[in-house]
Amino acid sequence: MDSTEHMAENPEGPTPEQATDAVRRLGWRYVHGALGTHVHVESLTQGADVVTRATAACGQDADDHLSADIRPRRVLLTLQSAKSASVTARDIELAGKISTAVADLGLLTGIGVGRGGSRSMQVVELVVEAVDVASVRPFWQAATGYDGEAGSRGSQDPLVDPLGQGPTIRFRQIDPSDARHRAIRVDVCVSRGEAERRRRALRELGATWVSEHPAGDCQVLADPAGNEVGVVALHGR
């Protein structure tokens, strides 16, 4: 029995350690509930070819497991079960199939990018601290336009960008006496019409007005914990 078959028998799916060991030699990395890799390409056309091959390698599972981001010099590939929002044994199997398909193009799946390969796969998250998380989560959902993670229903669960562009927002409950808590400020830049809609939604949630840019391009509002968001109106509706 190979490692993938062993993991398939585990109803909870592979552990982070198992997933890491299974895909490391393939040029993939396990990072926070997903498998990620990148492929260096010479053009967008070649990048599109990589995605086509990766999609074909996944077959009918592509829509439920594979995400791709094509850039001028690289393709970013991510594997995660859309149903469980986690890495499954099938994702590990698909990583191997994709790496083989990419190799057939004379390319490699790898993890290091940037000068000297110093920038590896990573996930950037925003952590919001509050005594009452349930009271601040709706504020941040309205400010960012984010949704809950797949399968999440709790009032303290993380918020994720439905387009997969921005950092996940996680919430940390703190004790009222925790002196280490420091309020944060995040600026969200959207079109003018969308800025007006989000500001209105925040006011309806009871957000506290903090300040406004003289030109009216940025209004800063605070959640019940004192964390601030600047809703910046860009040109255009």
For 63-93, the pLDDT digits (tens) are 999 999 998 899 999 999 988 878 999 999 9
Cα–Cα distance, 233 to 30 (Å, whole number) = 37
Q: Does 110 share its domain with 137?
A: no
Q: Percentage of residues in the chain with pLDDT exceeding 70?
A: 84
The residue range of the domain holding 11 is: 3-117
Cα–Cα distance, 7 to 58 (Å, whole number) = 19
pTM here is: 0.67
Q: Does 188 share its domain with 222?
A: yes
Q: Does 110 share its domain with 134?
A: no
Q: Does 129 share its domain with 164?
A: yes
The amino acid at 28: W
The answer to whether the beta carbons of residues 113 and 38 sit under 8 Å apart is: yes
The model's pLDDT over 7-52, given as tens digits with 9 standing for 90+, comes to: 544 556 788 889 989 998 999 988 777 898 999 999 999 999 999 9
The answer to whether the beta carbons of residues 71 and 24 sit under 8 Å apart is: no
Instruction: Spell out the residues 6+ positions from residue 114 whose beta carbon is closer than 8 angstroms to its own.
Output: none
The answer to whether the beta carbons of residues 233 and 191 sit under 8 Å apart is: yes
Helix (H, G, I), strand (E, B) or coil at 87: coil
Instruction: Spell out the residues 6+ positions from residue 190 whose beta carbon is closer than 8 angstroms to its own.
Output: 145, 198, 231, 232, 233, 234
Q: Does 107 share its domain with 132?
A: no
Domain boundary among 117, 145, 164: 117
The model's pLDDT over 117-144, given as tens digits with 9 standing for 90+, comes to: 545 566 678 888 888 999 999 999 999 9
Q: How many other CB atoms are there within 10 angstroms of residue 31's CB atom?
A: 18
Helix (H, G, I), strand (E, B) or coil at 117: helix
Q: Does 139 share its domain with 158?
A: yes
Q: Does 7 share its domain with 58?
A: yes
CATH number at residue 94: 3.30.1360.20
Please state the domain count of the chain.
2
Cα–Cα distance, 204 to 201 (Å, whole number) = 5
CA angle 149, 60, 96 (to 5 degrees): 85
Inter-CA distances, 145 with 134, 136, 181, 196, Å: 17, 14, 25, 13
Inter-CA distances, 78 with 39, 94, 136, 206, Å: 11, 11, 30, 38
Report the DSSP pairing between strands 109-110 and 74-79: unpaired
Inter-CA distances, 14 with 5, 29, 115, Å: 10, 14, 33
